[in-house]
Each structure stands twice: as structure tokens, then as C-alpha cells.
Structure 1
Amino acid sequence: MGRRPALALLDILRGEGVDRVFGNPGTTELPFLAALVDAEDAPEYVLGIHEGAVVSMADGYARATGRPAFVSLHIAAGLANGLIGLLNARRSRTPLVVMAGQQDRRHLQQDPMLSGDLLGLARPAVKAAVDVQHARDLPLAVRRAFALAVRPPAGPVFLSVPMDLLTEDTEVEVPPPTPTPRTGPAVGLERAALLLGGATRPVIVAGDGVGRDNAVPALVRVAETCGAPVHHQPMADCLNFPTTHPLYAGMLPPRHDAIRAALAPYDTVLIAGAHAFTPHHYSPGPALPPGLTVVQLDSDPDEIGRNFPADTGLVGALAPSLDRLAELLRERVPAHTAKARVLRAGERHTAERGRTEAAARAAYSAAPLAPWAAAHAVARGLPRNAAVVEEAITVGLLLRRLVHLDRPGSYTHTVGGGLGWGIGAAVGRALAEPGRPVVAVLGDGCALFGLQGLWSAARCAAPVLFAVMNNGAYRTLQDTYEAMGGHGPCPGTELGALDFTQAARFFGIDAVRAGSADHVRELVSGAAELARPLLLDIRLR
């Protein structure tokens, strides 16, 4: 039985599990809005006052729910405003389906106001961009977009839909959904077990694919079975291994020379679900030390051997592949050998964590508040089941070394580099996981880029604690400038004195200025009791 185009679109959204539409509307979206009003059981429309916040909210929501989020943007200008969020989503492999209304086709050749090259704008920031020109093609295009958004590597898919197409007096067929078959374990795991099981000094790099694919418990079993220390990939976007585990060795730095030094003591490495180490600052030479045996496992075949050669490359679903690898390793690594390795690694890592803890506690005496002390106070104040959304750049690096987290989904970040993601992403996560405390740790520059997201936080009464690390500068640029041998003040990096409590109150959000590290810890520990958003302004020296 046929359906009008707009109703067919809503049918597909419901069938794909879409219960919220994240958007900022304009005239070209009015036919879609009218369908939302008239239809029964339509998805809730979550309004943002800037497209950057809209896409970020969808990003946080998709990560928390594990399914694609749907975004509605307004024509060329709205799409352009949302591009930063789409670049972040593509880099972080967040599945989104993004629809923008194009101008009416009946006068599009006349270059009407607001029209533009939507596909040309979108293509660099998405997996695919589709121009829907016929109502009969809309249902199939939307079905394909949802399927493509989750196919490895996951990411955003864009659809351009002219406004008059949704109002056509015609009926279109809605194709039923096709269940996606589950991918099984990789082929060749016996070879991987032979290499890892025969290693004297094995090590593991846990990539973001592990966290995205809910494979953390399986990776823990592999690590314990062979007694291998585990590093997070550089600037990891999520929790891929429990930071409380004795085998956890911390995050690899985002430079090839530092990665090479960290992996030099080992003879064999398992790299699971990592996007080629994503270096930030250039350093000469390869990421991997010479002579290191490499076992690489990924759900995306394009990752195998992408930036470094692998002795064996495996393609398959991460969780079942790692589960099977753990079984094979039990036959090759004696239990007493694995246990001894875990004990040795645990002693070494406990000592390292003790030194980090001592450095942070020593900073408590500084005034104004030192970054180490602020990061420590947040880490120790986190409620047991908190979800941390981090976009704090310099303080975020310290926070990663101090958090005690073991629940998958308890830490999210974006390696995309587009500032302003954190506020919206925290709101999206709070909407997806009601009842779970959400703590957003933000740099002051990052907060300025995404400030409009506070409007949505207030409107949705999202119980998020926004902790703004307020040092009045783009500190990461200043640090890098000094490391490069720069002398004198770095131009364009001073933000000056900023009062984020005033900004929060403008949007209708309660705000507090932290008086000390203990005050920060107390307020963060109360995140579980919030019924509405709260902003914490943390002044740093």
C-alpha cells in the first residue's frame, strides 16, 4: 500500500528506531514539520538554536543508544553551520542520517534565495551524499542511508530533499527493512593465537572500535589470558579498556616517536579496532619499532595494513573475534605465565599511578587552582555510574590519567578536532540515558564554540553538570608554541577573564563558581542528584 512521501519518510524513521529528530528548521523543512504535527506516534523534535549544537546532540545520542540518530538541517546555510559536527562524527565514526531541505525544484534553476550546492558542501564531511529528485526514490534512499551509516566504518550520511518533493500528490511504496546479518569472528584467528601465544613480551593497543562495538569484556579476556599490558589508542574517543585494571598501561601519545618508544619493550602487539594511531604532531619515522610482530584486527577491511604492515591482518566483528582469540590463547599460554605477567604489570602500573596521584595532590596547595588539582577533583568526585563527556584539551589529558572507570560508555571524546562538540554531546547523552549522571568536562575555548547548546540543555531540562576549565587562554596552543621554541607571548591565544556563570544564567541554567578543589569534588559528586543542568565555572591559573 502506498503512502504520501512525508508519511513514508516517517514510517521509515519509526521502523529504524528513530524516536527523536534533532534539528533547527527553516522554510524548506516546513513540509517535514507539518508531517510531524499530523502523524500519530511521530518522533519528538529536539530543537537547537545553532546547527553545531544540533549535530553534536545527535552525535552524543547516537553513541549512547548505539543506533543512527536523525538530523534535520536547513538548506545550504544550515548545512554549512553543521559541517563541524559532521566532520567530528565522521572522524569518530558516529552513525548519523542527515537530511536538509533544498529549495523548491520548480524555480531552482533561477538560483532562488537560500539555495546552494548542498552535495558539494556535504561530501567532504560525510560517507555519502545523495540528491533525491523523485518522490518514488525517497524511501529507498532513506533505507540505504540508515544501512550505510552503520556499515564499517560507521559515519554520517547526507540526503538533500527538495521541499516540494515532500508535498507531492502521489503515493510511494515503503520498502520493508532488511535485517542486517551479524558479522562473525574473523578468519585466521589461529595464526593470531600462534603469534600472540608464542610472544615473550606481548602488548595490546585498544582502539575505539573496541568501545564502539561493545567488545571491552572480550578484550579484557584476551589481555588476561596472555598477560599483555593494554594501551588506549592515541586520543581515544571512548573507554576501550577499564582504567582500573592492573593491565591498563594508559593512553599512547599522539606522536610516532612517542608511540615507538612506548612499544619498544615488547616483541608482539595486537592492535584491535584502532584507526592507524591517528598522530597529531609530526615526528619522523614510523609509529612501530623495528622487529615488532603485528597482529591487527578490525571490522573495517580498509584499516588492515593502512599505515603499517601487519604480520597477520584479521577482518571480523570485534567481540566474537576477541572471544574466540581468548579461547585459542588459553591453549597456548600457561595460566601461571599469564598470572605472573599480570602481577608484574600490575605492580608497575600501580607505582606509575601512585606517582601521578601524588603529583595531582601536591597541586592542591596552588592558588589559583592548578590544572592537576582540578582534574583530580573531578576524577575523584565522579559518581560511580557517571558518563564523562570530555572536550577539555589540556586538562582532558590530565583527566585521562586520573579517572577510575570500568563501565563501557563511561568516557566519550571526539578526535575530530572541531571545537564546540562537548556541550551538545552531553545533552544528547543525557537524553539517551535518563537516570545516568552526565558530567561534561570542557575547556573554556571549547565551551565558547558550543555555547548555544546550553539553550537546549535548559529547554530539555537535561541534568548535566557542565564543568568549564576556565584558564582564559587557548592553552594547548601556547604549550605547543613553547615546545616548538617560540619566544614571548603567542598571538591570538589569550581569551581574557571570562565569567561563564553569567553565560549560563543567560540561558536559564544555574551556575556556581568553584572556590577550591574540594568544592569541585563536592559539586561533581552531586551530579547524580541533579534534576536540571548546572554549570560549574572552575578558574585555573
Structure 2
Amino acid sequence: MTTVREVFFDVCRDAGLTTWFGNPGSTELRMLRDWPDGFEYVLALQEASAVGIAAGHAIATGGPALVSLHSAGGVGHALGAIFNAHRDRVPLVVVAGQQTRAMLPTRPFLGADEPATFPRPYVKWSRQPERAADVPAALAEALRVAMTPPRGPVFLSVPEDDWDRPAGPVPRRFVHTAFTTSPGALHEVAEALNTARAPAVVAGPGIDEDGAWDQAVALAETVRAAVWAAPMPSRAAFPEDHPLFQGYLPPVRSSVASLLAPHDVVLVIGAPVFTYHVHSEGPIVADGTRLFHLDCDPAAAAWAAAGTSILTTVRAGLTALLDLVEPSSRPAPPARSRPPAAPLTDPLTASAVLALLHPMESVLVEEAPSHKDTVHEQVPITRPLGYVTTGSGALGWGLPVAVGRALTGERVICVVGDGSSLYSIQALWTAAQRRAPLTVIVLNNRGYEAVASLGRRIGITSLPGVALPELDLTSLAHGFGVPAARVTSAAALPAALKRALDGPYLLDVHVTTSGGSLY
């Protein structure tokens, strides 16, 4: 007899899902017994870290990753990270254990009520199959949904006695997911770009997701468009040392409209129109600006509040558009001037610390909200897959994502705030066990400075619950098996940073508070 478990592993093997991430419990025991050759289980110490590490691995490989969670409690712990994966369009297959089917009517210990409903709406697909025999086919369907644009997490709940039930083989199937729109729609965009006085491109993370950096650069150069990064992107999408690159749009409606006002045609690629964090009134774009939007997400196209949205996967759409646009002789927009780094003096500033990372030869993973603008000013990203952050704002994503990226073998530098670091600090243990090439730089301003700064923006000058004095992050790192050092002076920083680049290593760098307002 062929069991559900055997067929399930066959489906995983065919899909290349041979590295699993998770934090196991009793409802996963039958799934994990007699672990097969050729499969690897990457243990994390908490479920949100498991999801984040799996996400970092998926981003690096461009394929799906499987993460194993433990019933309702494990899924609950992981939901913040699943939310991030959903907003950042990361293809994860989340498999959660469930109690034995015969026990479910009695609401047993560790049983999940309505398991398929629990993670919604932050998964694309969610199911607990009606029959044990349907579990492997459900996995195959989940994989196809996760990898269909817009990509994202899916959820499969499996009662723990299903694994030993009989099941038939699942036929292998392939789905080609690239698509583009009608030629007429792209002709409209091309005509607008060809006749524009001063076009602009807003480059979103979908460009990086779909491997379309070359196409985005070619389009901007052909039509001589100014290029802005979309507000709050999860990835970089255009070389930030390119003379056409103008910087990052802030997540404020009035500011976006003002910065884009000089442009008569704006093309948003692979990003929503637009992501905001601070409320302000006014139009989406200035009067007289024609707005076009290329992306694969029908939901984003539906709620976009202005312009013309065109559904297409990014690389296919840009490739077709490049055949329609004409080389322009209009003057290129002026190159932006990058702010100089602050001097490396005491007291240390985030600007001075980050300037030492330029040029960035490693992957940069960032979760330092109060220093995000400084990161973009001092550490330009110049290559695909070179930058990851959280596009949703739910903290605790950066550190485990950095671990997952590093597990693929590429050197990763994770720049994280002291507050952010604590949401998933246990991910350091996995980095230590796997000897991941990871350097964690904590910009420690002894508080939730992003919260305090946003408070000051709206006139709130005093807040409870934003101070974080006397955190001993180096002791925490040592406890998880990661070497660490604290830096409080400019003189000590260069040598400490050199040591930290032989990671895994955590560097706790004490910096001044920004003192300014975000955005």
C-alpha cells in the first residue's frame, strides 16, 4: 500500500521542495518519522521565525518553500510573518498539523477549529481536504496556486492520522504562468511614453520578483524617463547608482503627488498605486499627469484610485512594451545628488555607520524603520535580488528572512533596529547551527524611535512605551550561539565591522536617535 505520506513526499521531490522549514509538534510526528534521504529539515525555535527563514530562502531561489507549523497555536504564532509573505508576494506552502479526524467532533486538545479559515485573508488558497487520500493532490494544487502570479502563501491543514492512509499517485503537471495584456493596451502606454514631455517610471518590487531589472533599465533609458522607487517597497527594482534614478517616493499622498507633478506621464510597474502610511488629502497625481499601471495583481488593479491599470506579468509586459517604444531625444532628467555621509565621529550616527557598507557587495536585508531613509541614501542597491525589507510593516521579518537568504550560501548583511531585532531574535540560533554567512548590524538607539518620530509628526511629543534602555543584545546573541560585540565609539567601529563580516556575527552599534520625523 502506498501511503499519503509517501505520495506527499513524491510531490515535494518532483517540485524541488526538499528543504523544509519548521517548528514541529505532536500533530506532525507521523509526517516526520523515517525522514527520507535527500530531504533536509531546517529547525527554527519559533513559528514566525520558521516562516521568515522559509521566505528568505524562497526569495533567493525564486521558487516555493515549504514551512511546517503546529496546529492552531503554531499558525497563530506565525500569522504576522504569513501576513508579510502575503503582502510581499512570497510563495510559501504552509502545512499545519491537525488532530486525528475521529477526535475532531470532541474539540480535542491541540485541535484547530475551522483551520482553513484561520489564516485567511492572508493566504491565496486554504484547505483541509475532506478525505485523507486527497492530501497529496491538494499539495500539488497548493503549489500551483502559490507560484501563479501574483505569488503568495498557501495553507494546507493535515489531520495527523492521514499520513498512514492509502493514496494514489498524483500526475505531474506544469503551468506556464507568464501572461500579458492585449496589444492595444500596450500600444496606448507606448504612445503616451513616446509623446511625453517628461515621463517618469515608478519601479516596484514586482520588477525584482519577475527578474525584469534589465527590461526596466532598457525602458527607462529608451524613453529617458526619471525613475522613482515605489513607496515602501519590499525589494529594490532599479540600480540606485543609475543617473536616471531619482530616489524613493515617501508613503504620503501629497508628497507623492508633488514629486511626480513635473511629469506628464507616469508609469507604475510592479507596485500598487500607491502605498501610503501617513494620511494626507489631495489628488493621487497632479492634474494633467497621465498615470498607467502595469502589474500582475488584479486586486491591486481594482483598488487603484487613479489612472489606467493593465494586467500583465512584469517581464512579459515590459518585453512587449520595449518593442513599441521609440528611442527619445528629449533631455534626460538631472541626476540626483546623494547626501554625503556624516563623519565617523562620536557620538555615532546611523549615517556614518551605514556609509561604511558602501559599496554593498553582499545582500542587504533591512528592518530599521527609523533609519530607512538613511539606508537608501548611504547604501545604494545596484543589482537584482540585492535588497529585501518588509513591504507590509509587520516587524520581526528582517532577521529570519536574512537567515533564510544566507542559508543559500550568499553573504548577507542584516541592518535591523534594536526594537525590530527582538521580535524574532531566536532566528539567530538557526544561523548559528547552520553557520550561515550572516552579519547582523543592530542600529541601537535605545527605543522605538520610528514610533516616537511619527508621534512628533502629528504633534505628540511624549509617549509611554517607546523607551528600550539596558537591552543586552550581545548576551542574547551569545546565548543563541552567535558571536557578538557592542560598539559605542567611532574609533572601535571599523575593526569591529571587519570582524563581523566573518559571520554569523551580531554587532550592537549604539547610535544617536534620529531626532527628525519620518517622511
Q: Partner letter of residue 178 of structure 1?
A: F
1:395 Cα shift?
1.4
Using the alignment, how far apart are the partners of 1:40 and 1:177 within structure 2?
24
Deviations 1:276-305 (A, max 9, x none): 221011111232112211121112233335
1:90 Cα shift?
0.4
- Aligned positions of 1:27-46 closer than 5 A: 27-35=26-34, 37=35, 39-41=36-38, 43-46=39-42
Using the alignment, how far apart are the partners of 1:278 and 1:375 within structure 2?
26
User: Who is 1:129 aligned against?
Assistant: 126
> Aligned match of 2:90 in 85, 89, 94?
94
1:396 Cα shift?
2.3
Q: Partner letter of residue 498 of structure 1?
A: L
Q: 1:224 to 1:48 in 2, by over 3 A?
A: same
User: Who is 2:110 aligned against?
Assistant: 114
1:324 Cα shift?
2.8
Task: Check if 1:285 corresponds to 2:282.
Answer: yes
> Counterpart of 1:287 in 2: which secondary structure?
coil
> Aligned match of 1:513 in 479, 486, 500?
486
1:235 Cα shift?
1.2
User: Who is 2:295 aligned against?
Assistant: 298
User: Who is 2:423 aligned against?
Assistant: 449
Give the alignment's Cα RMSD to 1 decimal.
1.8
Q: 1:448 to 1:520 in 2, by over 3 A?
A: same
Q: Partner letter of residue 430 of structure 1?
A: A
Contact 1:186/1:321, CA 8 A, preserved across alignment: no
Q: What is the TM-score when the length of structure 1 is the normalising length? A: 0.90
Deviations 1:310-369 (A, max 9, x none): 2x4322221232133223222xx44x33xx31xx422xx1xx21xx11xx324x33x331
Q: Which has the higher helix share?
A: 1
User: Who is 2:149 aligned against?
Assistant: 152
Using the alignment, how far apart are the partners of 2:384 and 2:497 within structure 1?
20
- Aligned positions of 1:143-222 closer than 5 A: 143-168=140-165, 170-184=166-180, 187=183, 188-222=185-219
1:166 Cα shift?
0.6
User: Who is 1:7 aligned against?
Assistant: 6
Structure 1 gap segments, 5+ residues each: none
User: Who is 1:69 aligned against?
Assistant: 65
Using the alignment, how far apart are the partners of 1:171 and 1:112 within structure 2?
26
Q: Partner letter of residue 206 of structure 2?
A: G
Q: 1:329 to 1:180 in 2, by over 3 A?
A: closer
1:275 Cα shift?
1.9
Contact 1:437/1:527, CA 8 A, preserved across alignment: no
Contact 2:269/2:293, CA 8 A, preserved across alignment: yes
Q: 1:518 to 1:290 in 2, by over 3 A?
A: farther
User: Who is 1:388 aligned against?
Assistant: 364
> Counterpart of 1:320 in 2: which secondary structure?
helix
Contact 1:431/1:462, CA 8 A, preserved across alignment: yes
> Aligned match of 2:78 in 77, 82, 95?
82
> Aligned match of 1:400 in 367, 376, 388?
376
> Counterpart of 2:222 in 1: which secondary structure?
helix
Q: 1:301 to 1:390 in 2, by over 3 A?
A: same
Q: Partner letter of residue 106 of structure 1?
A: A
User: Who is 1:490 aligned against?
Assistant: 463
1:524 Cα shift?
4.6
Q: 1:320 to 1:373 in 2, by over 3 A?
A: same
> Counterpart of 1:77 in 2: which secondary structure?
helix
Q: 1:482 to 1:184 in 2, by over 3 A?
A: closer
Contact 1:389/1:439, CA 8 A, preserved across alignment: yes
Contact 2:201/2:220, CA 8 A, preserved across alignment: yes
- Aligned positions of 1:422-461 closer than 5 A: 422-432=398-408, 434=409, 436-461=410-435
Contact 1:377/1:517, CA 8 A, preserved across alignment: no
User: Who is 2:354 aligned against?
Assistant: 375
Contact 1:208/1:240, CA 8 A, preserved across alignment: yes
Contact 2:23/2:46, CA 8 A, preserved across alignment: yes
Using the alignment, how far apart are the partners of 2:279 and 2:177 within structure 1?
41
Q: 1:519 to 1:127 in 2, by over 3 A?
A: farther
Using the alignment, how far apart are the partners of 1:94 and 1:31 within structure 2?
28
1:507 Cα shift?
0.8
The worse-fitting range, judged by mean Cα deviation, of 275-284 and 87-96 is 275-284
The worse-fitting range, judged by mean Cα deviation, of 512-521 and 102-111 is 512-521
Contact 2:254/2:282, CA 8 A, preserved across alignment: yes
Q: 1:229 to 1:461 in 2, by over 3 A?
A: same
Q: 1:230 to 1:381 in 2, by over 3 A?
A: closer
Contact 1:219/1:323, CA 8 A, preserved across alignment: no
Q: Partner letter of residue 204 of structure 1?
A: V
Contact 1:132/1:162, CA 8 A, preserved across alignment: no
User: Who is 1:320 aligned against?
Assistant: 316
The worse-fitting range, judged by mean Cα deviation, of 474-483 and 288-297 is 288-297
Task: Check if 1:465 corresponds to 2:442.
Answer: no
Contact 1:185/1:320, CA 8 A, preserved across alignment: no
> Aligned match of 2:53 in 46, 54, 57?
57
Using the alignment, how far apart are the partners of 1:21 and 1:240 within structure 2?
29
Contact 2:251/2:276, CA 8 A, preserved across alignment: yes
Contact 1:94/1:154, CA 8 A, preserved across alignment: yes
Structure 1 vs Structure 2: percent identity of aligned residues? 36
Q: 1:294 to 1:18 in 2, by over 3 A?
A: same
Contact 1:186/1:314, CA 8 A, preserved across alignment: no
- Aligned positions of 1:227-246 closer than 5 A: 227-246=224-243
